[in-house]
Amino acid sequence: MEKITENVYAATDIRGCNPGYVMTRDGAVIIDTPQLPTKAVAMREEVLKKGPIRYLINTEHHIDHIFGNYFFTGLCPVVAHEHILKDFGVVSSGTPYSYSLEVVKKDDPEGISLMPPEKDFHLNPPTILFSHGLKLWVGDQVFELFHTPGHTRGQIAVYVPKEKVVFVGDTIFCECQTWFHAADPDAWLWSLDFLKTLDVDHIVPGHGPICNKDYIMKQSAFIREWVTAVAVGMAKGWGLQECTQRISFLDRFPVDIGQEAAGPMIQEKAVERIYSFLHGKIERYR
Q: How many helices (H) and strands (E) does the chain have?
A: 8, 12
The helix-helix angle for 263-278 and 214-235 (nearest 10°) equals: 70
CA atoms within 13 A on the CB side of 251: 2
| 278: confidence class by pLDDT, cuts 50, 70, 90 | very high
- Which residues, in sequence order, are CB contacts of 177 under 8 Å at separation 6+? 249, 250, 253, 254, 255, 256, 263, 266
| 98: confidence class by pLDDT, cuts 50, 70, 90 | very high
| 273: confidence class by pLDDT, cuts 50, 70, 90 | very high
Quick check: pTM over 0.95?
yes
Instruction: Look at residue 84 and tell me whether its pLDDT is greater than 80.
Output: yes
Quote the pLDDT of residue 92. Answer: 82
Proportion of the chain above pLDDT 90, given as a percent: 96
d(CA 195, CA 152): 16
d(CA 181, CA 273): 6
CA atoms within 13 A on the CB side of 273: 22
User: Among 90-99, 118-127, 255-264, whose mean pLDDT is lowest?
Assistant: 90-99
- Which residues, in sequence order, are CB contacts of 221 under 8 Å at separation 6+? none
Q: Which CATH superfamily is domain 2-215 in?
A: Ribonuclease Z/Hydroxyacylglutathione hydrolase-like (3.60.15.10)
pLDDT tens string 176-232: 999 999 999 999 999 999 999 999 999 999 999 999 999 999 999 999 999 999 999
The arithmetic mean of pLDDT across residues 25-35, rounded, is: 98
Backbone phi and psi for residue 240, each to the nearest 5 degrees, phi listed first? -60, -45
pLDDT tens string 110-153: 999 999 999 999 999 999 999 999 999 999 999 999 999 999 99
Measure CA 164 to chain center. 20
Quote the pLDDT of residue 81. Answer: 98
The arithmetic mean of pLDDT across residues 266-279, rounded, is: 98
Measure CA 78 to chain center. 16
d(CA 117, CA 190): 42
Quote the pLDDT of residue 285. Answer: 95
Quote the pLDDT of residue 232. Answer: 98
Quote the pLDDT of residue 239. Answer: 98
The arithmetic mean of pLDDT across residues 164-174, rounded, is: 98
Under DSSP, the state recorded for 88 is T
Quote the pLDDT of residue 90. Answer: 86
CA atoms within 13 A on the CB side of 160: 29
| 89: confidence class by pLDDT, cuts 50, 70, 90 | confident
User: Among 47-51, 103-107, 158-162, whose mean pLDDT is lowest?
Assistant: 103-107
Q: In this structure, are residues 65 and 32 in contact, taking their beta carbons and an 8 Å threshold? A: yes
Quote the pLDDT of residue 94. Answer: 86
| 91: confidence class by pLDDT, cuts 50, 70, 90 | confident
Quote the pLDDT of residue 178. Answer: 98
Q: In this structure, are residues 271 and 139 in contact, taking their beta carbons and an 8 Å threshold? A: no
CA atoms within 13 A on the CB side of 7: 22
Instruction: Look at residue 286 and tell me whether its pLDDT is greater than 90.
Output: no
Average pLDDT value for the chain? 97
- Which residues, in sequence order, are CB contacts of 14 under 8 Å at separation 6+? 34, 36, 39, 257, 258
| 93: confidence class by pLDDT, cuts 50, 70, 90 | confident
- The residue type of 208 is G
